[in-house]
Amino acid sequence: MTEETDLVAGLEALEDKLARARASITRRFIGQERVVDLSLSALLCGGHGLLIGLPGLGKTRLVETLGTVMGLGTNRVQFTPDLMPADILGSEVLETSDDGRRAFKFIEGPIFCQLLMADEINRASPRTQSALLQAMQERQVTVAGETRALDAPFHVLATQNPIEQEGTYPLPEAQLDRFLVQVEVPYPDRDTERAILLATTGADEEEAHGVFTPEELIAAQRMLRRMPVGESVMEMILDLVRAGRPEEPGASQTVRENVAWGPGPRAAQALMLTVRARAMLQGRLAPDASDVAAMAMPVLSHRMALNFAARARGDSLGALISRLVEDTTRTEAAA
């Protein structure tokens, strides 16, 4: 069996498993298929996700359900202004043994898990937020001068409330860039909300069931990176990312006048991974231009910013990204 045939067979087998995982998730997190797919994409890519939404939209329920379905050991941390780095990473304590000897023992913090839910991450101080940086990038932490590896796989799904900004600490750009995708969690439509009422206010509730194991998720992540990406899709990714940089020689007048800073190479890397994940979730063997267009907003929206003048006018970053996608799609189609 050739490598290509082996990859096709593996992707086809994975398609059924992913369909069962999605079905199990949506039994508890009703509707919101795009939110589910983006969260699954982050896990399939081996990355982290930032969930933005108002209270009561089911963000915590989604993360708990993902942990169950994907077979991951899950911990939750409620971020508060008085939370300290040691509350997340762990710390050394002095213990006395039965024979009177004293020695330091490391007590692991909640970050030693496979799926960490960082609830309302922007409520913690920058010092505590920064405790996640090394873990998210390197899958290890350094405490008391000793580096300790985290469990594999390791993912962070953080939530953020877009209102009630008093007493919060906006995430710095360096940490935002560590999140593979930013997922906007909207209000459900009327039919979905009706289904939620019926499913969650009765005597019994649907339960999620495990579909993956950690080893199977790691295998899926490796398979995703083997999925081929066509030259036209790669060029579209490069054109889109570079078009959002105001200092780029070919940048449009709109970008030069309205964008303070644009997406870096990590944005292109994130697009290369997430377009594969979207194709995988839809049972296709390779991504196409529609995947780039669909993943542009969750990948770019937290990796670029409008300047002061654009914000003062009330301009929308989302509208700008949509325009960049339209222009890039039109250019690729003409080519």
Query: CATH no. for residue 320?
Result: 1.10.8.80
182: β partners: 50
pLDDT at 30 exceeding the cut of 60 = yes
How far apart CA 6 and CA 12 sit, in angstroms, is 10
Is position 140 within any domain?
Answer: no
Query: Is residue 193 a contact partner of residue 85, using CB atoms and an 8 Å limit?
Result: no
Sign of the torsion formed by the C-alpha atoms of 228, 229, 231 and 232: positive
The HSE-up count of residue 165 (CA atoms within 13 Å, CB side) is 4
Is position 191 within any domain?
Answer: no
pLDDT at 285 exceeding the cut of 80 = yes
pLDDT at 335 exceeding the cut of 80 = no
Is position 278 within any domain?
Answer: yes
Q: What is the pLDDT of residue 278?
A: 96
pLDDT at 290 exceeding the cut of 90 = yes
- Can you give the residue range of the structural domain that contains 236? 228-335
Query: Is residue 44 a contact partner of residue 212, using CB atoms and an 8 Å limit?
Result: no
Is position 238 within any domain?
Answer: yes
Q: What is the pLDDT of residues 54-79, one digit of tens each?
A: 888 888 889 999 999 999 999 999 99
Is position 265 within any domain?
Answer: yes
Is position 330 within any domain?
Answer: yes
Q: How far apart, in Å, do the first and last CA atoms of the chain sit?
A: 36
Q: What is the pLDDT of residue 167?
A: 62
Q: What's the length of the chain?
A: 335
Q: What is the pLDDT of residue 44?
A: 95
Is position 245 within any domain?
Answer: yes
Q: What is the pLDDT of residues 83-137, one digit of tens each?
A: 898 899 988 888 877 777 888 888 888 999 999 999 998 888 888 888 888 888 8
Q: What is the pLDDT of residue 160?
A: 87
Q: How far is CA 215 from CA 111, 147, 239, in A?
A: 19, 24, 36
Q: What is the pLDDT of residues 229-275, one digit of tens each?
A: 999 999 999 999 999 999 988 888 999 999 999 999 999 999 999 99
Domain count across the chain: 1
Q: What is the pLDDT of residue 11?
A: 85
Looking at the chain, list the stretches that DSSP marks H as alpha helix, in order from N- to C-terminal side. Answer: 3-28, 33-44, 59-69, 85-89, 126-129, 131-138, 173-176, 190-200, 214-226, 231-243, 253-258, 265-281, 289-300, 308-313, 317-334
How far apart CA 44 and CA 218 sit, in angstroms, is 8
Is position 148 within any domain?
Answer: no
Looking at 160-189, list the stretches that DSSP marks H as alpha helix, in order from N- to C-terminal side. Answer: 173-176
Query: Is residue 88 a contact partner of residue 111, using CB atoms and an 8 Å limit?
Result: yes
> Higher-confidence residue: 143 or 326?
326
Q: What is the pLDDT of residues 36-52, one digit of tens each?
A: 999 999 999 999 999 99
